[in-house]
């Protein structure tokens, strides 16, 4: 099994708001490897979150902030 938890930003464009309205949320994805292929077995989004959670998150490939042992590690539920 493998899983990923993260934040996303979606922008909705409507006639009354030409600049768009931003929404922020959290997602959970669980995958299972079957016959050499990864299959999504669970995919869920969870309501709106404050924009600062999205803005303060790191890209999956951005491991530099975690290489220093003095950096406080965060745990997410």
| Contact by Cβ (8 Å): 3, 31 | yes
Q: Which DSSP string corresponds to 2-70?
A: EEEEEEEEEEEEETTEEEEEEEEEEEEEEEEEETTEEEEEEEEEEEE--HHHHHH---TT--GGGTSTT
- Which pLDDT score is estimated for 68? 64
What is the pLDDT tens value at each position of the chain, 77 positions in all?
A: 999 888 999 998 888 877 888 999 999 999 999 999 999 999 999 888 988 888 888 776 766 766 665 655 555 44
Segment 52-74, tens digit of pLDDT: 888 888 776 766 766 665 655 55
């Amino acid at each position: 099994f493998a899983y990923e938890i993260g934040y996303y930003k979606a922008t909705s464009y409507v006639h009354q708001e030409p600049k768009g309205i931003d929404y922020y949320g959290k997602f959970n994805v669980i995958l299972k490897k079957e016959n050499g292929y990864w299959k999504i077995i669970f995919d869920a989004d969870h309501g709106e979150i404050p924009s600062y959670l999205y803005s303060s998150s790191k890209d999956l490939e951005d491991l530099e902030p975690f290489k220093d042992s003095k950096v406080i590690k965060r745990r997410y539920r």
